[in-house]
Structure 1
Amino acid sequence: MTAGTALPRGGALVAQSWERSRRKGIDPDRTDPLVDLQGADLAECRASHRMAAVLPLVEKVLVSGVVDSGHLVAVADADGRLLWLYGGRDVRTRAERMAFVAGALWSDEVVGANAPGLALQHDVALRVRGEEHFLAPAHSWSCSAAPVHDPVTGRVIGGIDVTGRDSAASDEMLALVKATALLAEGELRATASGVLVPDHSGGMGRRVEALGTHRPMLTGHGPLTLRHAEILVLLAAHPEGLTGGALAELLAEGRLDDVSVRAEISRLRRVLGAGSVGSRPYRLAPGHVETDADRVSALLDSDVGAAVKEYPGPLLPGSEAPGVVELRHELHARVRAAVLAGGSAANLRAWVNGPGRDDADAWSILARVPDLSSVERSSAVSMRRILDDRLGA
């Protein structure tokens, strides 16, 4: 197996990972991923890490059901470092040959495509099969992994992975890993440090983080429900205010009434505090809440590079609210147009290595940028061909 081998027939995240690994010069034949925690240092890290609190649940729900069938269960920190590993002696011995051991760093940045590394980097549950792994020693393994989030901040604090034979990447195994991660988050939420409470501080200047995430956040509060995030995004986009009927149509055309909207606004006020949302029409109090989408939109008029850096992905990608879908498409199109029109190598790199990773036009423009290194130009041309092949162009 060499770095010149064709890309596996995996998803976009795997293909992008392979290209990154090739550009970084990661040796696909390496058998020694970084093991940077051992002995007392590993024990200390384990004892202080929040994932330790969910180990009994992981053992009961996941470990007891899969290790007897020749699989490994790994619990990692947010950097992709394996902290705990469960499995039979034989399968653990096999895994040691590729340094899949406690204390090893299996991030995408270090070893290329693998399920725990990609799941943590992109904050999404996924699987990687056999030769989709960048490292050749991992080609006889498959894996499914899911991130675990802090229930207050919404940030990724670790991940859960099952590695083993082909069945480790089955639909059933991926679903089981995802369910275990959700149960782990519930366990964390039940602890004293994980209890969410309404904010009554006035909330001036708080920000809704809604770009590129299925877990919208509000600074000073923590995770928002998708419906509350949708309402805040829509009200922020209509500072003049919206009637209950208009807001209902933007949230769920023909499927929501004024009474339901009024109930959601009432719940939202309990989160944001009194005076946060005005009535008749519904509108946000000036300066009370901003959104990261508004920030990107404003930057597009003055600093495209900064706008691209602050645009991790589409607005509330999990939302099907008509008003949000329209705002999502509009902002994405504006950012893309600004990047392509400007022709800046730095902005194009940021775009194709982020939300524009599947943008064939952007890869083509990047390939024509003057003074580009031969390696980067070749990579850009290759990515354009890969995307063309995928689309049947």
Structure 2
Amino acid sequence: MTAGTPAAIKALVAQSRERSRRRGIDPERVDPPVDLQGVELSAHLAGHPMAAVLPVVEKILVAGVVDSGHLVAVADVDGRLLWLYGDRGVRTRAERMAFVPGALWSDDAVGANAPGLAIRHDVPVRVRGEEHFLAPAHSWSCSAAPVHDPLTGRVIGGIDVTGTDSAASAEMLALVRATALLAEAELRSTPTGGVRRLEALGTLRPTLAGLGPLTRRHAEILVLLSAYPQGLSGGALAELLAAGRLDEVSIRAEMSRLRRVLGPDVIGSRPYRLSPGVLETDAAHVAGLVDSDVAAAVAAYPGPLLPGSDAPGVVDLREELHARVRAAALAAGSAQALRNWVAGPGREDPDGWRVLGSLPGLSAAATSSARSVYRVLDDRLGA
């Protein structure tokens, strides 16, 4: 039998049901395991390669099928649901059988279902009603297709449509498979997974990889949205950009201009938020290093975040990051970290030179030089 044909899919479903019986899975269970929630789920989403295919999924599938009462799900290679799109009422119904982000819908965990079988057998699959092993899923039908890493060819996840009988039609299966192929093409065209890096530290000309320089306002917005991954309302964003001086109409106009620069799928609305996996900032990179590799964090920190910005939210982020890097450098007891600090943003920090000059193991010349600079800076500040 050819993989993906109705006969082949029927055989896969039958084999899955037999496996589930042997494994002792209760077909009446209504609580598939939800093994990732909260912060752990957020961290898994942020670092997952499937985040890079979300713009394609949203443009092709979500825009086309959600209004007809279907759900669109994106899963990882373990069959764990990562992102779920759909109307609130349909999602509420699905929650009753734990069809939610973080839940395991692998074939091993819950028996026959489209995303679980598609990922297990690396083939597009559709499952109708009572073909599902779990009784609570009998009122649902679904079509799913695997997504492959363009470099290794291995399955990295799956895309699924779940809903009424039409969710398991030949046309829906073809649409889901086409979306998966387009997602793989997107991954091939952006080897880094589509992630763009914003360089905003120590520069008056922030730049975005692949696009070049940005306006200060656009850089401010991206920095703030990166710092608030849960999203910001128009009013909250206005306050962070210019307390009491911007209204939501101005914010909408600015976001429209920014979308014309970045593309329509990078920033979502209500609230404004970055699509997962599309942007990283040099500031976030440094913040992630501070607690694990101080010397590397200081070396990667050329100076304050957007030093020309007076946006209140950016000022707070700038001061917080600068204070964290400085404190880590002074407390690390590492000559390399301190050298990086005083050679860069801490060149006029007397405490940095003082601590460096007191470290054991430095040459006499290095100790004398550090202490001399400390005295000059200390006298200057005391003058």
- Provide TM-score, normalisation by structure 2: 0.49
- Provide TM-score, normalisation by structure 1: 0.48
**Higher radius of gyration, 1 or 2:** 2
